[in-house]
Every structure is written in C-alpha cells, then in structure tokens.
Structure 1
C-alpha cells in the first residue's frame, strides 16, 4: 500500500510517499481502508519534534511513529476475532493519536476503541475533519470549562479547526457565543451561529468592558492577566492552543491563580475518547455541528498540505484525500 513515511524530524521535506506492507489486524483490531485523513497541531509536533518535551512521547532522536496522521475516515475491511462493535463494510471515523498514529496511508489497523461509526450525513473528507479537533473543543468546553446554558462564552481563535467546532458546540450547549478571528473569517463565524464576532485586527477584546463566564483560548498571544481581566468573578479560562509564551504562562500561572482566586485558569490536553466521538456523531446528525473544510489535498501532496497548515491561517480543517 502507499503511505507517507518519515524517519527523522524536520520540515515537510522529510516526508516520503512510499510502498509499505498492508498491516494485519490482531484479535482486537480493525483493518480500515482509509478514504480521508486530516491535519492537526499534533501532526506538526510529530513532524518537527517540537516542542522538545514532546520527544519524550514521540521519540528522543527520531520519530517513534513513522507514518503520521491521527484523524481518519474510511471503511472497515476486516476485523479481528475479538472485535464486537464493527464488521466489514462499516463506514467509520476515528482518532489514532492514542494508538500509534498511521493515518496517512491507504490502510491502517487500529483497536476498535479508536473508532466510531461515521456520521451518516457526512462525506469521508468531512468526517475525517472531526475527531481530534471536535473532541478537543468538546472536552475543553464541557469537561475543563464546565460550560452551562446561558453563559457568555468567548472563543479566541474561532475560525480554525478547533475554533469552528468550539463555536458550534458552545451554541449546542445553549451558550451566548462570541468568536474572535481575522477580518476575512467574520462571515464564517456568523454562518456557524456565533452571536457576536470580533475582528482582532480592529479591536482587542481584552480591553473592552464585556465580561465572560468561560473563555477558550484556541489561538493568540494574550497574557494570562489580559484574559483574567475579562473573566467574570467565577469565570473559567481554558488554554487550548496559542503562542509558546502563552502556554508557559497557562501552565505556570494558571494553577496559582486558580488556587488563590475564584477565577479558574489552566491548560488542557485532549485525549482520544470513543464515547466523545459518538457524542459528536449525534450532534452532527442532529444538524447542530458541521465540520468546516478549508482545503483538500491528495496523499501525494502531503508536503504542500503541511506547508499550508503550518502557516496557521486555515479556515477550518485541512484534509488529505487518500
């Protein structure tokens, strides 16, 4: 089968499209013919080996996982004898980041716990855009942010992969949602149901008088003190992504602020979860959430896909058609 392989950390040029053996599923694994995959921030970390702390998980001197790709959508080709949830022919989607990656290939063998049945109203490309970004948004808002109906919620970095899901999920929970994005993305946020959209090139939300019950920092470089200023007295800030200095502040200062004040501030790490995949599937089939696709690339164009994704200006998700 064809697969994208890397044997060293570096820029997209280290990726090679080559022939490898089709994996053989073990007793509790599912063999999936991959129709589409998508890019996430974790793919960049796995490619570059940066930040360096990530190498303790991904390999100190070279990648432990030679075929990148976490999010997939495809069709079940075969199942191990102990698999009970799926059968050949099922259309599935899933997040492979917790079980060896390998999504940028024509076939992958994964535990059944990494997959869920694909939403019936999505194409394979659309479904591949959902798992990691969608679950990140869901867990950040629901589990870490304790989102409640009627709350005022702000999503900073609302037009990217995680942000577009966060806007819709917050609306599905009954929140009043404000999204922060660039000028060209205002229309996207309005189409997703945001109650308000702030153009960061024209105004700084941290200097306005409005206060929020929950802020999800998906992108940006605001300080923790700036975020804290626009939180309500019992508000919660969840750092999902952003600049390196912002991440350090969230990790170093967030716990201290949370201990000494009523406001809670902290960082958050998504974990692949089949139950949450199924929950997202239901939201999607109910029409409450839809993936936003920016561009689709062929498997042979994966280097170009990574270059574009690394620029950080994608409107929604970047997808690989396998």
Structure 2
C-alpha cells in the first residue's frame, strides 16, 4: 500500500512517500479503513509519536470506506460504508491507503461533503467539542473568548458556541478574517496584531485558546476572577504535563486552567455528521494534494497564514 512516512529525527525530519508498504491486518474488534483522504496537522512533525512508531506513518484524521473487520467485531458497521475517523493521538498511522481504527474512533461520513472535506474535520471538531463540553463546561448565557478563531479548531468552536442560547462570542483573529469569523456567529472580533487587544475585552467566563505562547499569557487579563481558561496551544505551556503552576495564577488564584490532548469520541463525530448534513455546522475549506506530493502537502500545512486545511488524497 501507499503511505506517508516521517523519516529522520525530530530535529531534521523528512516527509517521504512510500509506494510499497505492508497493508495492516485488523485484529480483535478493529476496523480496517480503505483511506480515500487524510488530513494533516502540521505540528505533528514535532510530536514524539511518529518517531516512536515502527512504521513512521503519521496522521490521525481519515475518511474512506470500511474494508474489513477484526474477528471479534460485532458493532453496527458493515463493509463498504463510507466513514470518517479520528485515530487516537498515541497511535495515528492514518496517512496510508489502509488504516486500522477502533470502534470508538469511527462514525458515518457526512453525505453532503467529499472525502477530502470529511478528512479535515475530526481533530478540529472533536477538539472544539471536548474543550467546550468537558473542560470549559460552557452553559447558556456565558461570554466566551476564542483565540485563533479563523483556524480550523477556532472555526468549529465559534460555531458551536454561537449556536447556544444567550452566548456572547468574542473572537481573536487577524483583521483580514474579521468578516469570515463574524459570519460564523462571533459577536465581537479583535485583531491579535493590535497592541493591547487584551484590554478591549474583559470579564469573560471562558477562554478557549488555540494558539498558546504570548496569546495564552495575555488572556489571563480577560477572564473573570472565577473564570476558566482551556488551551490546546502547541507547544504546550510548561505547566501542562508536569502538574506545575501557571505563573499567571499567582495573581488570579481562582481561575481554573487546563491543557488537554483531544481524545476519540465516535458519538461526537456522529453529532458533527448530523450537523454538517443538516447545514447547522459549516465544513472547513480544504486544499488537497495527491499522495505523490506529500512532501509539498506537509510543507504547506506547516506554513502560517494559510486559510485552508491541508488534505492528502490517496485515490487516483
């Protein structure tokens, strides 16, 4: 089978298109997907997981057709169904013609969009949903600040929050994306390039940060004394995994703050499918590259300022 590999070390990685890798065989209750398209998260090239994998195949977002089941599978899916999936962050290996999934990673593909468009959705959709539902625990009537609002995760988050009753959505984005973000449902849009933007919005109940770094440091000035900050910024803040304390929390002792890595959730993928097909959740704009141009696809996915989610297409 065809598969993308990340070779070398994290300090000097090389994206490689391999045309003759071994096709995986599903075991237990696993599901084998014939992948039509796979999404790229550019920062994965600096994650440790691809380098620890024997295959060196990256990728966590796929859309395709069910090809085969492991001998113990007894779920509702059937061979030939079109599905999309998020492969667990520690496993991946989705950027290949065939990929192994677990049942809780898979949902029926939205019928109204292409495989390439479906492959762009799992990480943004699930990250936004998990941040808002499980970590921020948003409720109707809240004021929510979303940073990186024009990025893939931000686009999903703005729509999900704006769809709730009585919400006030404040979006942080570049000036060129103002109208797009407002059209998604944001009530206010701030330019992250403007000096002092953090003083223009105050007393927000929840901050959902998708950027990290200096932006994450500044949002502490925006949140209520008893508010919540949830971040998926990459690289993660120093306090994310070591159980340490955020330096800003000294002056904001009642603010709850969390960093997380997204988890599979087939139920939320299914909910996203229904919303996409009903027209209540917009798809992402994508730019596709054929498998043979995987190196170029990854380079584009890592570039800043792009508007589209990058997807590798495996079908000829």
Structure 2 residue 218 is matched with structure 1 residue 217: no
Unaligned runs of 5+ in 2: none
Structure 2 residue 104 is matched with structure 1 residue 103: no
Query: Quick one: structure 1 residues 190 and 65, their matched pair in 2 at CA, closer, same or farther if it must change by over 3 Å?
Result: farther
Structure 2 residue 257 is matched with structure 1 residue 268: no
Assess if the C-alpha contact under 8 Å between 2:128 and 2:157 holds in 1: yes
13-22 or 119-128, larger mean C-alpha shift: 13-22
2:118 corresponds to: 127
Structure with higher helix content: 1
Q: Secondary structure at the match of 1:77?
A: strand
Structure 2 residue 163 is matched with structure 1 residue 162: no
Equivalent position to 1:282, from 274, 288, 292: 274
Assess if the C-alpha contact under 8 Å between 2:17 and 2:294 holds in 1: no
Assess if the C-alpha contact under 8 Å between 1:5 and 1:18 holds in 2: no
Query: Quick one: structure 1 residues 261 and 162, their matched pair in 2 at CA, closer, same or farther if it must change by over 3 Å?
Result: same
Equivalent position to 1:87, from 54, 71, 78: 78
Rounded Cα–Cα distance in structure 1 between residues aligned with 2:126 and 2:247:
24
Q: Secondary structure at the match of 1:164?
A: helix
Q: CA shift at 1:131, angstroms? A: 0.9
Assess if the C-alpha contact under 8 Å between 2:26 and 2:100 holds in 1: yes
283-292 or 173-182, larger mean C-alpha shift: 283-292
Rounded Cα–Cα distance in structure 2 between residues aligned with 1:220 and 1:99:
22
Q: Secondary structure at the match of 2:19?
A: strand
Q: CA shift at 1:292, angstroms? A: 1.6
- Report how many residues are paired: 309
2:196 corresponds to: 204
- TM-score for both structures, normalised by structure 1: 0.86
Query: Quick one: structure 1 residues 200 and 72, their matched pair in 2 at CA, closer, same or farther if it must change by over 3 Å?
Result: same
Equivalent position to 2:138, from 119, 129, 147: 147
Unaligned runs of 5+ in 1: 47-54
Q: CA shift at 1:171, angstroms? A: 1.4
1:53-104 deviation line (CA, Å, top 9, x unaligned): xx3x555xx5445211110000112223332221111110001134732221
1:32 corresponds to: 33
Q: CA shift at 1:138, angstroms? A: 0.7
Rounded Cα–Cα distance in structure 1 between residues aligned with 2:237 and 2:23:
39
Query: Quick one: structure 1 residues 99 and 265, their matched pair in 2 at CA, closer, same or farther if it must change by over 3 Å?
Result: closer
Q: CA shift at 1:256, angstroms? A: 8.5
Q: Secondary structure at the match of 1:235?
A: strand
Q: How does 1:235-274 map to 2 (within 5 A)?
A: 235-242=227-234, 244=235, 247-248=237-238, 252-254=244-246, 257=249, 261-274=253-266
